[in-house]
Amino acid sequence: MEYKFSDRVSNLKPSAIREIFKYAADPSVVSLSAGNPSPDAFPTKEIAEISAKVLAEDPISVLQYSVSEGYAPLRKHLAEYMKKEHNTGSDNDDILITTGAQQIMDLCSKALVNEGEVVICEAPSFIGSLNTFRSYNAKLVGVPVEPDGMNTEKLEEALKANPNAKLIYTIPNFQNPSGVTMSLEKRKKVYELAKKYGVLIIEDNPYGDLRYSGEYVPNIKSLDTDGIVIYAGSFSKVISPGMRVAYTIAPKPIFQKLVVCKQGNDVHTNIWSQYVCDEFITKYDFNAHLARLREIYTKKASFCMELLDKYCAPKITYHKIDGGLFIWCDLPEDIDMPKFCRELVLKKVCVVPGNAFLTDENETCHSFRINFSTPTDEQLERGIKILGEYANSL
């Protein structure tokens, strides 16, 4: 039978990262391509305690159907926590619990973007969100990322050139894949431009709690007095990605539409996972846990950058980071980056080619992304040594 797919998915391609995972499954391959938390970062003892207690004392509460908006105590406690710690959220907002932050992008696309309308994204940007926007036949327009965040002059040019733009999608803290953090000045400018041109902002912040150095920068959502920012937060990098618990803080009219869309998507997010997250952030020392994560990743990030300095100069340069899980590396223009990444796999090292993160994957790119949180120190050194030896042999 000849299968005829919908227009929405006919041109979609598999995620380059997920495809690379197939190679990374080989135990002899050093995977610098993943974005998984370190195995040392999971609060396994606490999760086991919380789960055992509720399953022994009140199992039906986490095994039965629940409401689409999310577990009420978790929504309440998140609203209080985000207001207290980050001055984020107002009386005009509400919180929806979602099945991972990826679902936030899907629900926002479904609720807000018509086919052919424009989503303005950072270039490079997170491939998962890009593919979600593509699946709704949105037109993607990329704006270059500079060392202090999105180029706001280019952003205004894009807004002027695309009057049907509906969303600006940004990862302002330790951006995936570039590792860049947007300055406060640029956050204010992005907000001003969105207000001026009548466009909503999706602020995706999965890495904000993983700062290793430098000063905290306020969320764009904390500047939102006009109801134009949709904030996406997640427990994936701070508790567990497998539990698939994230949340969005959105203006109430948008929140209501997202709830309706979620009802047609998965009814509600896993209640056991929501319960565990709520108990963990309220009954345990969540800030101490975050401090432990920062200690783990500070050591791993510093070690990774030391290895890049030791083995990869001069052919590979990189952008120093203040947080997050990724480092963006650049090759000289005379080296074919996609070929370099393919050949590297044959040498048992996986990285992610930079063009996978562009709004136009066919655009020339001389960069690639590496991850340091998943490999052991021994794997990290072996992989980066191979990376540097190969680059410097060309």
- Options 3.40.470.10, 3.40.50.10860, 3.40.640.10, 3.30.420.40; CATH for 60-283 is 3.40.640.10
Cα distances (angstroms) measured from residue 351 to each of 214, 275, 294:
27, 36, 24
The tens digit of pLDDT for each residue in 133-162 reads 999 999 999 999 999 999 999 999 999 999
Given the structure tokens 């066919």, which residue do they identify? 362
Say if 16-43+288-392 and 60-283 have the same CATH topology: no
Tokens of 99: 């099945």
Characterize 175-212 residue by residue with b for buried, 16 or more Cβ atoms within 10 angstroms of its Cβ, and e for exposed: bbbbbbbbebebbebbbebbbebebbbbbbbbbbbbbb
Kindly list the domain boundaries of the chain, sorted by start residue.
16-43+288-392, 60-283
Closest CA to 171 of 77, 104, 271: 104
> 28: pLDDT confidence band, cut at 50, 70 and 90?
confident
32-75 pLDDT, tens digit per residue, is 988 899 999 999 999 999 999 999 999 999 999 999 999 999 99
Q: Which CATH superfamily is domain 16-43+288-392 in?
A: Aspartate Aminotransferase, domain 1 (3.90.1150.10)
Question: Quick one: pLDDT at residue 18?
Answer: 57
Instruction: Read off φ and ψ for residue 354, nearest 5 degrees.
Output: -65, -30
